[in-house]
A and B are shown apart, each in its own frame.
Chain A
Amino acid sequence: MALHTEPFILNIGPVHPSTHGVFRIRATLDGEVIVDIEPVFGYLHRGVEKLAEQRTYTGIIPLTDRMDYITSMSNNLAYVLAVEKLAKVKVPERAEYIRVIMAEMQRICNHLVAAGAFINDCGAFFTPFLYMFREREKLMDLFEMVSGQRLTYNYMRVGGVSQDLPAEFLPALRKFLKEMPAHIAEYERLINDNEIFLARSRMIGILPKELAINCGISGPVARASGVKWDLRKADPYGIYDRFEFDIPTGTVGDANDRYTVRIAEMKQSLRIIEQAVEKIPAGPVISDVPKVLHPPVGEAYGHLEGPKGELGFYLVSDGGIAPYRFHVRPPSLINLTALRQMLIGWKIQDAITIFGSIDITMGEVDR
Chain B
Amino acid sequence: MKLHFGNGLLKGMLVTIKQNLRHPTVTQYPEQRLNTSRRIRGQELVWNKTRCTGCATCAKACHQGAIQIVTATNTENNKYEVETYRVDTGYCIQCGICVEACPYDALFMGARYEKAKYRRAELVENKEQMADSLDRPVSGYFHPERAEKLPVQTLLVEKINEDRSKE
**A interface, CB within 8 angstroms of B:** 55-56, 58-62, 134, 137-138, 141-142, 144-149, 152, 154, 162-164, 166, 168, 172, 175-176, 179, 189-190, 193-198, 291
Contacts and interface: CB of A to CB of B under 8 A. Distances in A.
Given A144-B37, A144-B40, A148-B96, A193 B156 contact: no
B152 A162 contact: no
Interface string B92-108: 01111100110000000
Interface stretch (B44-52, B68-76, B77-85, B139-147): B139-147
Given A56-B63, A59-B63, A190-B11, A149 B94 contact: yes
B8 A154 contact: no
Contact of B157 (A59, A179, A190): A179
A47 B55 CA distance: 32
Nearest to B37: A144
A362 to B, nearest CB: 20
A152 B37 CA distance: 14
Of A148, A149, A179, most B-chain CB atoms within 10 Å: A148
A197 to B, nearest CB: 8
Given A193-B3, A195-B7, 19 more contacts: A56-B61, A58-B97, A61-B95, A62-B97, A138-B157, A142-B155, A144-B36, A145-B39, A148-B40, A152-B93, A154-B96, A162-B96, A162-B100, A164-B144, A168-B153, A172-B155, A195-B4, A196-B8, A291-B61
B3 A141 contact: no
Contacts of A59: 61, 63, 97
B39 A154 contact: no
A148 B1 contact: no
18 contacts: A62-B97, A141-B153, A141-B155, A144-B40, A148-B109, A148-B139, A149-B94, A154-B97, A166-B147, A168-B153, A172-B155, A176-B157, A179-B157, A193-B7, A194-B12, A195-B3, A195-B8, A291-B101
Contacts, number: 94
Contacts of B94: 149, 152
Contact of A62 (B4, B15, B95, B157): B95
Contacts of B152: 168
B114 interface: no
B5 A195 contact: yes
Contacts of A146: 39
Contacts of A193: 1, 3, 7-8
Contacts of A291: 61, 101
Give chain A's interface secondary structure class: helix
Contacts of B1: 193
A145 B12 contact: no
A175 B97 contact: no
Contacts of A189: 11
B41 A149 contact: yes
A291 B60 CA distance: 11
Contacts of B5: 195
A189 B101 CA distance: 50
B142 A162 contact: yes
B158 interface: yes
Contacts of B157: 138, 141, 172, 175-176, 179
B13 to A, nearest CB: 11
A196 B152 CA distance: 44
Contacts of B61: 56, 58-59, 291
B42 to A, nearest CB: 9
Contacts of A164: 144
A138 B157 CA distance: 6
A339 B157 CA distance: 38
B40 A194 contact: no
A142 B152 CA distance: 13
A163 to B, nearest CB: 6
Contacts of A198: 3
A164 B143 CA distance: 11
B8 A166 contact: no
A134 B156 CA distance: 9
